[in-house]
A and B are shown apart, each in its own frame.
Chain A
Amino acid sequence: MKKRIMALLASLVLAAVSVTGCGAGTDSKAAGAGELNLFVWTEYLPDSVVEKFQKETGIKVNVSTYSSNEDMLAKVKSETAGAYDVLNPSDYMVAQLISQDMLRELDFEKLPNFSHIGESYKNPAYDPGNKYSVPYMGGAGAIVVNMAKVDIEIDSYADLFDPALEGQLVVLDDFRAVIGMTSKALGYDLNETDPAKLAEVSDKLQELKKNVVLYDSDSPKSALISGDCSAGMIWSAEVAMAMEEVPSIEVVYPEEGPYLFFDNWVVTKESPNYENALKWIDFVMDPENMAMILEEFPYLCANVDAIEIMGDEYSNNKAKNPPADAISSGSYVENLDSSVLDIYSEMWTKLKE
């Protein structure tokens, strides 16, 4: 019996050694061969730009994608430390990553292209002094309407709750965006925390439930182009892309002021490829490269020199480059207490059940 236990232990040890041996092997290879692991939003970074970077630097880039900030956070936490070098979080998520000590400070000596970033985009409230992040692209949770299919006038988020739109909407599969929009429709804050008001928001969401047929953050434009949905609340640049396919599609910035977001480049604390990460961030801040990205994904951009290259077609397009008054009237998602977030989660489950 004793012998059997010894043998079992021996085989366990062998197995353990072989497993760890394996892990160490891939790690050292990753650092030595010049790799970079990017974790970015879906439909946010063209392959051509990644290929250009690989060609210029010889660094092998692995791109993984996510479709909500919370998904990203969950994935980063569940992976081994340093599995991703560069992340692409939105405003409030940058603040949360900083407060959880998950980011590494950026060395601006290595980021000369930061000079192309517009002054108004520097020094944001979520990362004072840009210690950890540089801004990439952003936009609004804009209202999209296919004028050929919708009979009512839509000027505000509140109009999306009109029973005339039953079974016609696509909205982002993002609880902060959809619940925030509903709070705004009732005249409350995008980041409402008052339980009494949130109870009202929850009731209001049940009206929205009848109108929404699709929750999609990856490519909400598809359902509008195919004609399966005729209106909704989606990323502003997705509206721009849908407008190019279907001329009757238009963008509307809500009277209540839109939900806004701005996404950033950050480097993880345990990143094994810090130098490569900085090379990447500097590369995408180059106006030529940024313009390549904007050609494919026309979001609001922090890079003023890239906007210069894009010309009037980009600057005058309301969906690509949201007008200044829409931006100034809008609000950003903020980090909430977990007790409030639990209420948000419950409301979201009720909406999707």
Chain B
Amino acid sequence: MAKRISNHEFKSNTMPAIVTVGPVAILSLFLVVAPLALVAIMSFCQTDEFYNVVYKFTAINYSKLLSPDYIKIYGQSLLIALITTVLCVLIGYPFAYVIARTKSHKKKLFYMLVIIPFWTNSLIRIYGWRTFLGSSGWLNMLLLNLGLVDEPVEFLYKTGTTVLGMVYCFIPFMVLPLYTAIEKLDGSLLEASSDLGAKPYKTLFEVIIPLTSGGIFSGCIMVFIPCLGYFFVSNILGGGNTDMIGNLIERQFKSANNWPLGAALSIILILVTLILVKIYQNLGGDMDSLGV
């Protein structure tokens, strides 16, 4: 069998190249390159009196991006995304560690706990949180009935609630790369560390974490970047009080109807993403583990 394959030679490289790379190339041309080019072009366009896009060059959209209001929103988006990422690591790491190191049949069960929420649309799950946390929601009913509080606690419509929703949405994206990294960890290294007299915390900080840093990095990238764009979480759980870059972009394409400005904002978000991925690469991150 092996011999037959190695003996077979194509007369030219054209056909195999078209068959194998062609479909993907066309797909990415239509679905990635063309839309991105359109966004880039539109970000330099003007609008007429009805906010229709006019294909005439201007740089005004980019100069608008420097307004103090927008800079404040970028700042708080980055802050919310950062807090979300840190919380995801703190919560996700121990959990991923337990799944990866468990030998028993419970491993599958734990793994399913991460996967199952994906079966329901995230928008619906976020509305679920709103009902759960509301003044007449289950959590407040429980607290009231237990006598822990005298009147309902106002959980909703705060920046903290937005962060909660973000952490909830993104924790699987943190757990899965961490799980992969921790699973690859060689158990004999941990034994060696302990045999040589390292205390558990020392093993953690000097063996386990450095060896799984690739997973931590890729988890962070996969949480941080989409977090900047998840506008509906801050709309539903934050009440629309604390805008993020995603909200700003959404508004330009919808109510404000200023597509070129929205396109310029999207370009900024893409640049932020590229810079972060570059930092990740420079820190020694592996592009394969990002899934890109």
A interface residue numbers (CB < 8 A to B): 3-4, 7-8, 11-12, 15, 68, 70-71, 73-75, 77, 96, 99-100, 167, 173-175, 209, 212-216, 223, 226-228, 337-338, 341, 345-346, 348-350, 352-353
* A352 touches which of B157, B247, B253 (Cβ 8 Å): B247
Given contact pairs A4-B17, A7-B14, A74-B257, A352 touches B135 in the complex (Cβ within 8 A): no
A348 to B72, CA, bound (A): 14
Which residue of A has the minimal Cβ distance to B131? A226
Which residues does chain B contribute within 8 Å of A75, judged by CB atoms?
Answer: 254
Given contact pairs A74-B257, A227-B152, A228-B156, A338 touches B18 in the complex (Cβ within 8 A): no
Contact A96 B50 (CB under 8 A): yes
Contact A214 B256 (CB under 8 A): no
Contact with A along B4-33 (1 / 0, CB 8 A): 000000001011011000100110001000
Given contact pairs A167-B154, A228-B135, A349 touches B69 in the complex (Cβ within 8 A): yes
* A11 touches which of B26, B255, B258 (Cβ 8 Å): B26
Is B110's beta carbon under 8 Å from chain A? no
* A7 touches which of B18, B67, B255 (Cβ 8 Å): B18
* A213 touches which of B73, B241, B256 (Cβ 8 Å): B241
A99 to B48, CA, bound (A): 13
Which residue of A has the minimal Cβ distance to B248? A349
Minimum Cβ distance to chain A for residue B52 (Å): 7
A348 to B255, CA, bound (A): 11
Which residues does chain B contribute within 8 Å of A348, judged by CB atoms?
Answer: 251, 256
| Prevailing SS type, chain B contact patch | loop
Contact B241 A352 (CB under 8 A): yes
Contact A349 B243 (CB under 8 A): yes
Which residues does chain B contribute within 8 Å of A215, judged by CB atoms?
Answer: 235, 239-241
Contact with A along B123-167 (1 / 0, CB 8 A): 000000000001111000000000000001010110000000000
Which residue of B has the minimal Cβ distance to A11? B22
A75 to B256, CA, bound (A): 12
Minimum Cβ distance to chain B for residue A83 (Å): 16
CB under 8 Å from chain A, chain B span 56-108: 67, 69-70, 72-73, 76
* A226 touches which of B18, B73, B137 (Cβ 8 Å): B137
Minimum Cβ distance to chain A for residue B254 (Å): 5
A228 to B130, CA, bound (A): 10
Which residues does chain B contribute within 8 Å of A4, judged by CB atoms?
Answer: 14, 17-18
A223 to B133, CA, bound (A): 12
Which residues does chain A contribute within 8 Å of B118, judged by CB atoms?
Answer: none
Contact A15 B240 (CB under 8 A): no
Which residues does chain A contribute within 8 Å of B235, judged by CB atoms?
Answer: 215
Which residues does chain A contribute within 8 Å of B136, judged by CB atoms?
Answer: 226-227
Given contact pairs A71-B255, A338-B49, A12 touches B243 in the complex (Cβ within 8 A): no
Which residues does chain A contribute within 8 Å of B157, judged by CB atoms?
Answer: 213-214, 228
Is B51's beta carbon under 8 Å from chain A? yes
Contact with A along B33-53 (1 / 0, CB 8 A): 000000000000001111110
Contact B22 A8 (CB under 8 A): yes
Number of A-B contacts (CB under 8 A): 105
A7 to B12, CA, bound (A): 13
Which residues does chain B contribute within 8 Å of A223, judged by CB atoms?
Answer: 134
Which residue of B has the minimal Cβ distance to A344? B256
Minimum Cβ distance to chain B for residue A348 (Å): 8
Minimum Cβ distance to chain A for residue B45 (Å): 14
Minimum Cβ distance to chain A for residue B14 (Å): 5
Which residues does chain A contribute within 8 Å of B256, judged by CB atoms?
Answer: 70, 175, 345, 348
A183 to B239, CA, bound (A): 23
Which residues does chain A contribute within 8 Å of B251, judged by CB atoms?
Answer: 345, 348-349
A96 to B30, CA, bound (A): 34
Minimum Cβ distance to chain A for residue B12 (Å): 7
Contact A214 B255 (CB under 8 A): no
Minimum Cβ distance to chain A for residue B27 (Å): 9
**Pairs of residues from A and B, 3 with the lowest C-beta to C-beta distance, nearest first:** A215-B240, A227-B135, A214-B239
* A15 touches which of B14, B26, B241, B242 (Cβ 8 Å): B26
A206 to B26, CA, bound (A): 50
Minimum Cβ distance to chain A for residue B67 (Å): 8
Which residue of A has the minimal Cβ distance to B72? A353
Contact B254 A68 (CB under 8 A): yes
A315 to B84, CA, bound (A): 51
A100 to B69, CA, bound (A): 32
A71 to B186, CA, bound (A): 54
Minimum Cβ distance to chain A for residue B80 (Å): 13
List 21 A–B pairs whose Cβ atoms lie within 8 Å, in order of A's numbering: A4-B14, A4-B17, A12-B26, A70-B255, A70-B256, A96-B50, A167-B154, A212-B241, A213-B241, A214-B241, A226-B135, A228-B154, A228-B156, A338-B49, A345-B258, A349-B69, A349-B70, A352-B240, A353-B72, A353-B73, A353-B242
A223 to B239, CA, bound (A): 10
Which residue of A has the minimal Cβ distance to B140? A227
Contact A338 B51 (CB under 8 A): yes
Given contact pairs A8-B22, A70-B256, A353-B72, A337 touches B154 in the complex (Cβ within 8 A): no
Which residues does chain B contribute within 8 Å of A212, judged by CB atoms?
Answer: 239, 241
Known contacts A175-B256, A338-B51; 20 additional CB pairs below 8 A are: A4-B14, A70-B254, A73-B257, A77-B52, A96-B50, A209-B241, A213-B157, A214-B156, A216-B239, A216-B240, A223-B134, A228-B135, A228-B154, A228-B156, A338-B49, A341-B51, A346-B67, A349-B70, A349-B73, A349-B251
A68 to B251, CA, bound (A): 11
Contact A3 B134 (CB under 8 A): no
Which residues does chain A contribute within 8 Å of B76, judged by CB atoms?
Answer: 353
